[in-house]
Chains A and B, each alone.
Chain A
Amino acid sequence: MQTEMNLDLLSEARRQAEICNACRYCEGYCSVFPALHSQRAFSDGDITQLANLCHNCRGCYYACQYTAPHEFELNLPKALAEVRRDSWESFAWPQPVARRFQTHGGAIALAFVVGWAALFWALRSIGSSGGDGFYAALSHSAMVAIFLPTFFLPLASLAISLNRYWRSVGGQRLRFQHITTAFSKAARMKDLAAGHNEGCNFEDEDRFSQARRHVHQAIMYGFILCFAATGTATVMHYVFAMPAPYPLFSLPKLLGLSGGVLLTVGCGAMGVLKLRADRNLGDPGAWGGDMGFILLLGFVGFSGLLLYVLGSTTAMPTLLALHLGAVLTFFLLTPFTKMAHGFYRLAALIKDAQ
């Protein structure tokens, strides 16, 4: 069962959208406004779609002549951020954990401790029947047994959520061209550049800056590289019968190292940007959850790098448990943390292209 979306948040966003529709000054900033101006009245699904098109660049807040103390109290980035998070929570499956992590950094930390303990226990009790490198601490088959479901369960969960999203916003049948349009926008993070390609108004009030876009790109490509590292290693293992450990000049290592650096630096920098930005222009309730998620993701990258450096020391098994515990937690929480936004954003861009 999906839960109903919060009507107060929806109607506040609708109130603001109606003001924007009579104003239109922000039309050039992002995809939200052209989508908004093509309608006269906004259903709950329309508002949900607009919310997922917004990436909280805040350009429209600082440009708005109607922000508080004006009685119209415009704060579109915040209104849309709150609806956005609420939509992810409402569509998430299974529902009992849906509202635990987006707003609770502490819950993410707790989950990480549990994930780490689970891995520590696995290392202790399953251990390894011999093997090289990390497999000396935990056997390859044990890793597969743990991480295969860890990877596919969240995907199944997200598939259910996205299907709910798609129905709620009235999406139509997919065509190839919608998808390519959406991917090309996402790859360049076009909207994060703002209409005039000078970035967001994030860490220093109304100053346009590319910092958030670049940092976000570092995180995204860092993540993709790390993922690709694991992917190539799996292929090498099964298809070419070349099990780990790999030398430095091998695909998995090169991909993983560069990805790990990007991920670590990116998440660190994103944390700093978030500390500088005005919390009240996002979803203030989700600030802790977002921060927890960024730290977790950064830690995945950082602990991976540590493993590389200290992999042949006695600290390795402890580090391995920490790293794999973080990875486990990260994957399992994907549908319930900020990580879900990537999937929703793509869905929103595809819908927008229809």
Chain B
Amino acid sequence: MTTEYDIAVIGGGNAALCAAMTAAETGAKVLILETAPKAYRGGNSRHTRNFRCMHEGPLGPLVDDYNEDEYFDDLMKVTGGKTNEKLARLAIRTSEECLPWMQEHGVRFQPPLSGTLSLARTNAFFMGGGKSLVNAYYRTAVGLGVDVLYEAAVTHLQLDGDQVTRVDYTHNGTSHSISPKSVIVASGGFQADTNWLTRAWGPAAQNFLIRGTPYNRGVVLADLLDQNVRQVGDADQCHAVAIDGRAPKFDGGIVTRLDCVPFSVVVNKHAERFYDEGEDVWPKRYAIWGRLVAAQPDQVGYVISDAKSLNLFMPSVFPPLKADSLEELAGMMDLPPAKLRETVDGFNAACGDTSAFHPTELDGVATHGITPAKTNWARPISQAPFYGYSLRTGVTFTYLGLKVDEKAQCSTSTGPIRNLWAAGETMAGSILGQGYLAGFGMTIGTVFGRIAGQKAASYAN
């Protein structure tokens, strides 16, 4: 079977599925090659919960309005201006028509989850989360005649001049090749390849946990970059957050997040504080702690909290360590007990009047005379039992990717590749140089997946 399919879509997550459905709706014969087994299909998309959506008025589950400029400003803030304005605005503008399109293709939305009310205006939540979105898309795609091959790992795209002439993949232990008219790459970043991360980050990367799928190893990305397909972004740029140190190496997903940092002190393995835990509300500081922890010895941090703060944050997937004294807690966490006592005593002494304490606002309850200061929610750690968590760096995705234009088309230095398009995480670096806005990953995948599907189909038909 060499010419049976019009289009091969590489990957089986949100971007791949959006592309496959869009192409199949034009009558093209589409094959999805997904390296994961069926139980793990859907890549990182299976871990998501919402997408960020522009809207001029109430739309589906979204309240009020969220217009293009506000959305774009939000993006500029988190990326520090490292944004491709043309592509970003295209994604933002198109997101509004995506919501009803997603509903038509089986996705169901729900009001914001408890604890996420702040996103009710900007982010539309998938009922049941990303895996139910992925399930619905697979059902719709198969209904449209798309063929899906699981455990089909693409190993090589043969680029001849300005055209991909062959797709090689392995399935059931044997190698296969097909030559579809168009190819869409939607196989994510490379974060699950620890060796590649280590080359980019240094040995510290060995201690990183990968929040999502173990299957995004960047095989196709590396293969294309080796053939001089245009690249965007740096290998050491990634989205990383601080998660529960007990999380599994891969696929721990959303439950491993910890929201306790603002109401705690965080120390390194020498029991020393290293950053202002109360700099801003947690959703705005979530993403920097991944890097902060990565910079500490052994890439680990320890959260110390006490009884009065326990109920201020979302319950964690693993129960916190619990002890009647700080020394006992230090023992449980392999921290030097005397030093931990000294750090906490010093912190406690620096806390002032806490009567203005307000857990959901920047309350200005700060420490005085210690470095680093804690500038909000600074209350002494004094009320037994004491609670502890370890923190590790959890990588969400990498930014190094394929450079695409507004048609989602890939290119080499000599010009566009006629039959190669890319969508989703694997080209997100074309839009974001750094930083991340919650829910924008799924927006990029949906918008550019649909564009890639359209363009690939009109080329093939």
Chain A residues packing against B (C-beta within 8 Å): 18-19, 21-29, 34, 37, 40, 59-60, 62-72, 195-196, 198, 206-207
- Given contacts A63-B135, A64-B131, whether A22 and B110 have CB atoms under 8 Å apart is no
18 contacts between A and B (CB under 8 A): A22-B255, A22-B317, A23-B254, A23-B317, A25-B254, A27-B110, A27-B113, A28-B110, A37-B114, A63-B127, A65-B46, A65-B253, A67-B39, A69-B40, A71-B248, A196-B108, A206-B135, A206-B136
Across the A-B interface, the 7 shortest Cβ-Cβ residue pairs: A25-B129, A63-B128, A28-B110, A63-B132, A22-B317, A22-B255, A196-B108
Of all chain B residues, which has the CB nearest A63?
Answer: B128
Asked whether A40 lies within 8 Å of B110 as measured between CB atoms, the reply is no
Q: Is the CB of A28 within 8 A of B127?
A: yes
The residue in B113, B128, B135 that gathers the most chain A C-beta atoms within 10 A of its C-beta is B128
Chain B residues within 8 Å of A63, by CB? 127-129, 131-132, 135
- Residue on B nearest A39 in the bound complex, by CB: B315
CB neighbours (8 Å) of A24 from chain B are 113-115
Kindly name the residue among A25, A59, A195 whose own CB sees the greatest number of chain B CB atoms within 10 A.
A25
- Please indicate the chain B residues that have their CB under 8 angstroms from the CB of A60 in the complex: 128
Interfacial chain A residues near B136, Cβ < 8 Å: 206
Which of A18, A26, A198 is the one whose CB lies under 8 Å from B129? A26
Task: Indicate if the CB atoms of B315 and A21 lie closer than 8 Å.
Answer: yes
Contacts A19-B255, A25-B254, A62-B132: A196 and B317 contacting too (C-beta < 8 A)? Answer: no
A74 to B139, CA, bound (A): 23
In the assembled complex, which residues on chain B have CB atoms less than 8 Å from the CB atom of A66? 253, 255
Residues of A within 8 A of B254 (CB): 22-23, 25
Residue of B nearest to A196 (CB): B108
Q: How large is the interface on B (under 10, 10 to 19, 20 to 34, 35 or more residues)?
A: 20 to 34
Q: Is the CB of A40 within 8 A of B47?
A: no
Q: Knowing A22-B316, A37-B114, A71-B248 are in contact, say whether A29-B127 is a contact too (CB < 8 A).
A: yes
Q: Which residues of B in the span 242-261 have a Cβ within 8 Å of any Cβ on A?
A: 248, 251, 253-255, 257
Among B132, B314, B316, the most chain A Cβ lie within 10 Å of the Cβ of B132
Is B364's beta carbon under 8 Å from chain A? no
* A19 near B113: Cβ-Cβ < 8 Å: no
- Chain A CB within 8 A of B379 CB: no
Rounded to whole angstroms, the CA-CA distance of A32 and B370 in the bound complex is 47
B172 CB–A CB distance under 8 Å = no
Beyond A23-B253, A63-B131, A206-B136, 7 additional contacts (C-beta under 8 Å) are A22-B315, A26-B128, A29-B128, A62-B128, A65-B47, A65-B251, A196-B108
> In the docked arrangement, what's the CA distance between A27 and B40, Å?
22
Which chain A residues border B113 with CB–CB below 8 Å?
Answer: 24-25, 27
Q: CA–CA, A71 to B251, complex, Å? A: 10
Knowing A37-B114, A64-B131, A207-B139 are in contact, say whether A23-B251 is a contact too (CB < 8 A): no
Cβ contact within 8 Å between B139 and A28: no
B413 part of interface (Cβ distance < 8 Å): no
Q: Is the CB of B131 within 8 A of A27?
A: no
Q: How far is the CA of A195 from the CA of B113 in the complex (A)?
A: 13
Closest chain B residue, CB of each to CB of A67: B39
Task: Report how far A21 CA is from B130 CA in the complex, Å.
Answer: 17
Cα of A198 to Cα of B110 in the assembled complex, Å: 14
How long is the Cα–Cα vector from A52 to B415 in the complex, in angstroms? 63
User: How far in angstroms is the closest Cβ of chain B from A22?
Assistant: 4
List the B residue with the shortest CB-CB distance to A207: B139
Whether A196 pairs with B127 at a CB distance below 8 angstroms is yes
CA A81 to CA B254, docked complex, whole Å:
26
> Which of A60, A70, A71 gathers the greatest number of chain B CB atoms within 10 Å?
A70
Report how far A29 CA is from B128 CA in the complex, Å.
7
- A62 CA to B115 CA in the complex, in Å? 23
User: Across the interface, which residues of B come within 8 angstroms of A59, CB to CB?
Assistant: 128, 132
Which A residue's beta carbon lies closest to that of B39? A69
How far is A199 from B248 in the complex, measured between Cα atoms in Å?
34
**Least distance between A23 CB and chain B CB atoms (Å):** 5
B256, closest chain A residue (CB): A22
How many Å from the CB of A73 to the closest CB on chain B? 12
Query: Smallest CB-CB separation from B114: which chain A residue?
Result: A37
CB-defined contacts of B2 to chain A, threshold 8 Å: none
Q: Which residues in B have their C-beta under 8 angstroms from that of A23?
A: 129, 253-255, 317
Chain A residues contacting B126 (CB-CB under 8 Å) are 25
B416: Cβ under 8 A from any A Cβ: no
Shortest Cβ distance from B339 into chain A, in angstroms?
Answer: 31
- Rounded to whole angstroms, the CA-CA distance of A24 and B132 in the bound complex is 13
Residues from chain B with Cβ under 8 Å of A22 in the complex: 254-255, 257, 314-317
- A60's nearest neighbour on chain B, judged by CB, is B128
B439 within 8 A of A: no
Cβ of B93 within 8 Å of any chain A Cβ, yes or no, is no
- Give the chain A neighbours of B139 by CB distance below 8 A: 206-207
Query: Quick check: B111 and A28 within 8 Å, CB to CB?
Result: yes
Residues on A with C-beta less than 8 A from B46 are 65
**B181 is an interface residue with CB less than 8 A from chain A:** no
Contact B128 A28 (CB under 8 A): yes
- Within the assembled complex, what's the spacing in Å between the Cα atoms of A18 and B139? 30
Q: Which residues of B in the span 294-348 have a Cβ within 8 Å of any Cβ on A?
A: 311, 314-317, 319
Q: How far is the CA of A69 from the CA of B41 in the complex (A)?
A: 12
B86-129 CB mask vs A (1 if < 8 Å, else 0) is 00000000000000000000001011011100000000001111
CB distance from A281 to the nearest CB of B (A): 14
**Chain A CB within 8 A of B49 CB:** yes
CA distance A26 to B319 in the complex (A): 21
Q: How far is the CB of B159 from chain A (nearest CB, A)?
A: 35
Chain B neighbourhood of A69, CB < 8 A: 39-40
Min CB distance, A210 to chain B, in Å? 15
**CA A112 – CA B129 in complex, angstroms?**
46
Task: With CB as the reference atom, state the residue of chain A lying closest to B258.
Answer: A22
